[in-house]
Each structure stands twice: as C-alpha cells, then as structure tokens.
Structure 1
Amino acid sequence: MSEIHVRVLDPDEWPSYKDVRLRALRESPEAFVASAEEEADFPDSRWQERMERSRRILAENGEEVVGVVSVGTGHRTNIPGAGELFGLWVAPSLRGSGVARRLLEKSAKVGREVGLRQLVYWVGTDNGRAVAFASSFGFRPTDDRRPIRIRGVDEEDAESEEMMMVYPLGDSAGVPTSL
C-alpha cells in the first residue's frame, strides 16, 4: 500500500466529492440515510452548494480515493461551538488499516482551525464496529438518540436508531462543553 494522503477538498473539486460519495452510497447503503439513486440525480449546483456548507476530506492512496468524511460547521447541530462529523466511509479493502483514524485526525484539526469546540457524530446503535471505532478515537456516547430511515437497502426502507457521540476539541479531555 502506498502512503495514504489525507486532504481537504477545495470547493471547485466538487466532482471528486460527488464521485466518492456515490461510490460510498453504492458500496455501503446500510451505513447512510441517503441512497445512491437519489443523490445521483442531484444537479451539479447541489453538489457545489454542498461543498460550501461543509469541509469534505478525502483519503487517497496514490491516485485512488479510498475514504471520505465531512465536517459541517454548525448548520445541522443546535449545540453552540459544535460541528458535525458525517458521511465517514473507507473502501472495504482498507478498513481496519488506519484510514478512518487519519480521516478523523484531519477532521479534528479542521474543526479546531475553524474554531469549533467539539465534534458531534451520529452513529447507528446497531453498528458495533463504528461505535467501537468512534469510542477508541475519543468520542463519548450521549443519551441523545434519533430514529433513522435507511434507503436503498431492500425493497422497503429500513428503520434504525442513531446515538449522538461527542468529541471535545479543546485542550482538556473529558466532558464536552455545552451539553
């Protein structure tokens, strides 16, 4: 495996984000609320708008994109000083190799750079691997839960639940602020 390079996409690189997002939705439909079929029909202007709302972070292995995560800077959470981590995906062949950790490290750095005090990450309660990974990185579970509907897995939408996990970005570890 070549060196994994992790970087923040520039807004004009929206086609790269679109490609990896659709790839992630097709490969792991159970991990996302949206479906590839739904998002594939989005006009280019919608992809461009998405780039303005959140930072999109790619992991690349040479020329191949092998992972993605997004950091929203407050548009989807009501917690002051919090951003949201979402859309985390790593190519199946590289899961468990440290790519996701590198994406989260870059996400935390980006969050600090834009003045966030914590990152919120909604994780499926039935996704033990994701919960364990987020916990190992330092995310802490909260009592906040929300129902989700996963599209594109079977003939019908699947119902599930997510829990909010929080990662403090400040100098002190422990309980995040504003919860």
Structure 2
Amino acid sequence: MEIRLLRPDDAEIYKEIRLEGLKMNPEAFGSSYEEEAGRPPEVYGERFKADNSFHFGAFENGKLIGVVSLVRETGLKVNHRTNIYAMYVTESGRQNGVGKGLVGKALEKARSWDGVEQIHLAVMSENIPAKKLYASFGFEVYGKERHALKIDGKYYDEDLMALFLS
C-alpha cells in the first residue's frame, strides 16, 4: 500500500471513490451523493492545490482504496486548529490498516504545521470501528451533536472528537 498526497490529476479517481462513499455510507458525510454527482472533477483538483488543506490517498496496486482530508482553519483566532474530513476506505481496504495509515499520515502533516495545537473531527456515534481507530491515536470525545444529519427521515448523531497536541 502506498499513501501519498492527491494531485489535481487524481481528481477523476477521487470523485469516483467519493461518490462510492456517499452512496455506501451516506450517514458518514455531511454532503450527499445527489449534491456531488454533478460536480465536475476539476472542483476536487482545485481543492488539492489549496495551501490550507491536504488530501491523502491510499493506493493498492495503483487503485485508490482510501482517502482522508486535513484542513487547517485560517482565521486568526482559530488557526491553531485543524480538521479531519472526508475519511473513507473502500470495503476491500477495511481491516487492513488502510484507515490507520491514512489517519497517521494526516496527523504527521498536522504536527508539521507550525502552531497547530488541536485536531478535530466528527464521526457518526454508531460507527464503533472508526471511533476505536481515532481513539487509538489519542482522540477523545468531547461532545455529541444530536440529530447532526437527517437522511430519509432518520436522524444520526455525531460524536465530536479532538486530539490535543500540546
């Protein structure tokens, strides 16, 4: 397995895995399949160029099997914080250390940023494997957002987790 930064020319394959995640686990993302299906791949390619965000991909035999995004806050009062978003590993990549590798790479990058003291994320409260993965890196639940998402009339809660570096 190779984990590397995604480049603008990875936009098409990123969109494919993003849509897969939105379709397979809609409760895990704030965005929806319907919102992103019509979005041109170039939108993702532009995101890969931003100064305050890094998007990592896990590849197995040249196939993208997992992704995670790390985005640093830019405001003067909050630029000590960064966030993990859009974490997804394909079914075939689960239980094989792909998620651990992606989170590890994101944390390595966050620690390299001067002034970053906190890393935040939100995870569906019922997603026990993901919560265990994040806890293994030292993330702690500090709150719960009840009814964070509503899909087809059903509500999903999110646990808010943070890792304090200092």
**TM-score, normalised on structure 2?**
0.84
In structure 1, runs of 5+ residues without a counterpart are: 171-179
| Aligned residues of 2:6 and 2:55 also touching (Cα < 8 A) | yes
1:164 aligns with one of 136, 160, 165: 160
How many residue pairs end up in the alignment?
162
Partner amino acid, structure 1, of 2:156: S
Q: Corresponding residue for 2:118?
A: 118
The equivalent of 1:109 in structure 2 is 108
Give distance in 1, aligned partners of 2:157 and 2:104. Answer: 26
User: Partner of 2:12 in structure 1?
Assistant: 15
CA displacement 1:89-109 (0-9 Å, x = unmatched):
111122121110000110011
1:141 aligned counterpart, secondary structure = strand
RMSD across aligned positions (CA): 2.3
Change beyond 3 A, Cα 1:33–1:62: same
What's 1:177 paired with? Answer: none
Q: Distance in 1 between matches of 2:153 and 2:44?
A: 24
Q: Residue by residue, what CA displacement relative to the aligned partner does 1:107-143 show, whole Å, maximum 9, x if unpaired?
A: 0111122332221011111222222221122111113
Question: What CA distance in whole angstroms lies between the structure 1 residues aligned with 2:110 and 2:90?
Answer: 24
Alignment gaps of 5+ in structure 2 = none
Number of the residue aligned with 2:142: 142
Question: Hey, what's the Cα distance between the residues in 1 that align with 2:105 and 2:123?
Answer: 19
Task: Tell me, yes or no, if the aligned pair for 1:74 and 1:83 is still in contact at 8 Å.
Answer: yes
**Structure 2 Cα separation of the partners of residues 34 and 165 of structure 1:** 19
Query: Taking structure 1 as reference, are residues 15 and 105 closer, same or farther at Cα in structure 2, changes over 3 Å only?
Result: same
Q: TM-score, normalised by structure 1?
A: 0.78
Q: Is residue 25–residue 34 contact of structure 1 (8 Å, CA) maintained in 2? A: yes
Q: How far has the Cα of 1:66 moved from its partner?
A: 0.9
Give identity over the alignment, percent: 29
